[in-house]
Chains A and B, each alone.
Chain A
Amino acid sequence: MRSRQLLLAVLVTIFAILGSAVLVHAQDQITVGFAQTGSESGWRTAFTEAMIAEAESQNINLIFSDGQQKQENQIAALRSFIAQGVDAIILAPLVETGWDEVFQEAQDAGIPVFIIDRNVTADPSLYVTRIASDFVYEGRLAAAWLATATANREQCNIVELYGTVGSSAAIDRATGFAETIALFPNLELVASQSGDFTRTGGKEVMESFLNSLDPASICAVFGHNDDMLIGAIEAMKEAGIDPADDILTVSVDAIDDIFVSMMNGDANATVLLSPNMGVQAYAAIRSYLAGETLPALIPVPSAMYFQDTAAEEYAARTGG
């Protein structure tokens, strides 16, 4: 008897909490200030658009500020958010340093700060958490696919199209990739050069690889982004090599154009660098405001795309 009563009590409590949570969800519109770096790349634009669209669908009042590649603009935006008394602040920092003072001001005003995308060096007690893609994981994922695809080959020589030297995306993707191929004795990185994340750079570097190495000895190419790989595809075609068949390809970003290459049979695989971090960011804000504690880093899930679903995905993205 007692146990049944207890169960009933527990169930009632659960329903009460759930009910109020749903009620809160439906009624409480929260106001969030979002300070973006600027709009320097197509990926960044997609990131901004996804943040705004996700806020609308979640009934969040999003105040957006474009920093135009200037930290002082971003700091001014943060101060304006504090003055407006927003419920939470999301910052996509342009640079890592120089945020402590304004974060302190936000903390004094009782407004939580969430970091999205790039990192900051500020005292971790001054902000709640960071929502970001895991570049190391992306490198690992690319290598893991390559290991599977070449499992029955005795030796696979890989060339790498390195991103901009010194960028965290390039460093981490190279690290994740290198540590994973080290687990497979048949995989070997034979050359790596910087193509600066551009198509022209990727094409030029691939041309030089095809000249300095025996093209028949290259088994796969890993591009730190899709643009460089699209350039490399051009270089391979001009050298009489069939990309994706003679030389396997894998790259990161999952931009629209790489799906066209996959549909044409010129590229094998791409790792998604999701520009849609809004889901994780807004979920984190809601759970923080509900009093939950959050981990220091909330990763945005990566995924891989292959030739078989390329046409479908491309049509979905371009609204086809």
Chain B
Amino acid sequence: MPENKTHTEVNDVAPRFNLIQSLHRNRRLLFPVVALILILIGDRIIQPNFFNIRVVDGRLVGSLIDILNRGTPTVLLAVGMTLVIATKGIDLSVGAVIAICGAVAAVLISTTTLPPLIVILISIAAGMLCGLWNGILVAYMGIQPIVATLILMVIGRGIAQLITNGQIATFSNPTLEFVGKGVLLGFPFPIFLSLIVFGLVWLLVRRTAIGLLVESVGANDRASFFAGIDAARFKVFVYVISGVCAALAGLIVTADIKGADANNAGLWLELDAVLAVVIGGTALTGGRFFLGTSVIGAFIIQAIQTGIFVSGLPPTFNLIVQAVVILAILFLQSEELRRLFVRIFTSLRKPA
């Protein structure tokens, strides 16, 4: 009996100890969460009704819902981008892929009689194709990822403009519109879509060996190759995933305004996605990656944006405020800066 009791005591203590230890070990991952909470509190101080949520025609309406909803394109891109960056790559073409896939969907739905689900699948296939192109350039042609994806970033908008004939291609189709502005259980549908995609990708990389292999390719693709991993195939795989995520983001932004805007859809969104991944703690040098905090990173960017919108500040301050807040977050994450502060602090205390 006494033995048994000691055993339970150990069991009681062990998980608590593990939790604290794991929190300490992963404290880098806590920063994005802390930063998001701080920004939300900041938003609440600026705008007292920021946390208010009301119900209009069976849908929840409020700034917090806006952050979740408006953040979804960046969240989707960040999920794909995290995997790409984990292989030491980068995908600058996602913004242009959004424009292409949105254009494909809008033009097909308005000029053909194809059923909406087929149109959506074709649009996703277009995204896969873009990813495949990027992946082949990077993995089999040996072109630097930043250059390889820059090609599609530049010509992608041209392709989208060709598809839409240079105009904003508008359409009216309830099924396709639902992807961007539908309501499910009171929440905007894009939130569910991004949750599903995040869940599927998480299961794929964390419940199989794929995640580990991707990290291995990013940490050292030559060593991985000699260890028997087909590094090139994994690189193609992550760019295809990124292309699919961009296609879904493209469907959302296109459906949201019932029109494909080849010039502006997803413009500069690739940079937001990279920023979200970096805020989430994944290093651009590849290797270990953090899917969950990339998503938090995307919501941080959106929380700043929505906060600025409700702040009443003149629009001319937008970019400066954004830059300052993001700089503050990156400072918070910088080990070097923290060590410097500790040094200054201890040297100040010594004379006293």
Contact = CB atoms under 8 A, between A and B. Distances in A.
Given A165-B316, A211-B310, A200 B170 contact: no
Interface in A96-114: none
B263 to A, nearest CB: 6
Contacts of B259: 199, 257
Nearest to B164: A42
A165 B319 contact: yes
A263 to B, nearest CB: 14
B112 to A, nearest CB: 21
A211 B263 contact: no
Nearest to B46: A212
Interface in B22-63: 47, 49-50, 52, 56-57, 59, 61-63
Interface string B73-88: 0000000000000000
A240 B57 contact: yes
Contact of B309 (A204, A231, A257): A204
Nearest to A191: B312
Interface in B250-267: 253, 256-259, 261, 263-265, 267
Given A41-B263, A211-B62, A238-B181, 17 more contacts: A42-B167, A165-B315, A165-B318, A192-B314, A193-B308, A198-B261, A199-B264, A200-B261, A207-B66, A208-B63, A212-B47, A234-B181, A238-B56, A239-B56, A240-B56, A257-B168, A257-B170
Nearest to A192: B315
Contacts of A197: 264
Contacts of B319: 165
B235 interface: no
Contacts of A293: none
Interface in B222-278: 253, 256-259, 261, 263-265, 267
Task: Point out which of B63, B253, B316 has the most chain A C-beta atoms below 10 A from its C-beta.
Answer: B316
Secondary structure call for the A interface: helix
Interface in A13-70: 39-42, 45
A211 B61 contact: yes
Interface in B279-319: 305-306, 308-310, 312, 314-316, 318-319
Given A191-B312, A212-B310, A203 B63 contact: no
B257 A200 contact: yes
A192 to B, nearest CB: 6
Contacts of A231: 257
B142 interface: no
Contacts of A227: 168, 261
17 contacts: A42-B167, A45-B166, A165-B319, A166-B316, A192-B315, A199-B261, A200-B265, A203-B256, A203-B257, A207-B70, A208-B309, A211-B66, A211-B310, A212-B63, A230-B257, A234-B258, A257-B170
Interface of B: 47, 49-50, 52, 56-57, 59, 61-63, 66, 70, 166-168, 170, 181, 253, 256-259, 261, 263-265, 267, 305-306, 308-310, 312, 314-316, 318-319
A205 B309 contact: yes
Interface in A185-201: 191-194, 196-201
B264 A196 contact: yes
B124 to A, nearest CB: 20
B312 A200 contact: no
A42 B257 contact: no
A162 interface: yes
B296 to A, nearest CB: 20
A191 B310 CA distance: 9
Nearest to B313: A193
A212 B49 contact: yes
Contacts of B50: 212
A238 B59 contact: yes
B101 to A, nearest CB: 15
Contacts of B258: 234
B178 to A, nearest CB: 13
B61 A239 contact: yes
Interface string A76-117: 000000000000000000000000000000000000000000
Contact of A204 (B70, B168, B181, B264): B70
A239 B60 CA distance: 9
Contacts of B263: 40-41
Given A40-B263, A211-B66, A211-B310, A199 B318 contact: no
B284 to A, nearest CB: 27
Contacts of B57: 240
A206 to B, nearest CB: 10
A212 B263 CA distance: 30
B155 to A, nearest CB: 14
A253 to B, nearest CB: 12
B25 to A, nearest CB: 38
A39 B318 CA distance: 28
B286 to A, nearest CB: 32
A39 B253 CA distance: 23
A246 B238 CA distance: 48
Contacts of A200: 253, 256-257, 261, 264-265
Contact of A208 (B59, B261, B306, B315): B306
A203 B257 CA distance: 8
Contacts of B168: 42, 199, 227, 257
